[in-house]
Amino acid sequence: MNFLHLLPVGNVEAAWLEGLRPALAQAFGVPCRLLPGALDPAFAFQPNRQQYHSTEILDRLRARLQPDTWRLLGVTSADLCIPILTFVFGEAQLNGACALVSTHRLRQEFYGLPPDPALLRDRLLKEAIHELGHTLELQHCDDYTCAMAAAHAVEWIDLRSPGFCQHCRARILSQQAEKQWVSAR
């Protein structure tokens, strides 16, 4: 049996990880479990930006893959960036096994607003599903309600649903059928 594994990257509230487990297991139909330990993201810190390079963290996540890993999702509270963008909510390996999401800019407090744990939990789930969708070869979707819609601001994440549109769902099912057909040959 393969698992969707979750790994904290730095200090992450355990409640966020525990909250993701059943929701992600239901979304992808794969059991989800928390890996022991955590990945220290200090190696990816960019002093000139005061942020963490998400691609470097993704590269290190690969070393944490287990033989029974279906996908590995790193969850962090660190502020993430890549060189060409001011920030990212998360990043994934397109058709790879690893994805990463950050709660940093999903929190209402980042925008000077009162904390809203329910909204943060909702945004984190949507962003996790989005990044894991990239590992399934899905790219950004034009349907703004689809989990695969692009989001350059947190309000756009709020417009997404925590599920895939019919087109993206059909692509996932088509890819799975093709892989089963190829492996059966």
Contact 102, 124 (CB under 8 A): no
Tell me the two tokens of residue 117.
Answer: 């744990």
Q: Where are the alpha helices (DSSP H) in 33-110?
A: 54-61
Backbone torsion region of residue 140, taken as left when φ is above 0, otherwise alpha when ψ lies between -120 and 50, otherwise beta: beta
Catalytic one among 13, 131, 155, 178? 131
User: CA–CA separation, 166 vs 86, rounded Å?
Assistant: 32
Active-site annotation holds for 131 = yes
Q: Is 175 exposed, middle or buried (0-12, 13-18, 19+ CB in 10 A)?
A: middle
Q: Return the active site residues.
A: 131
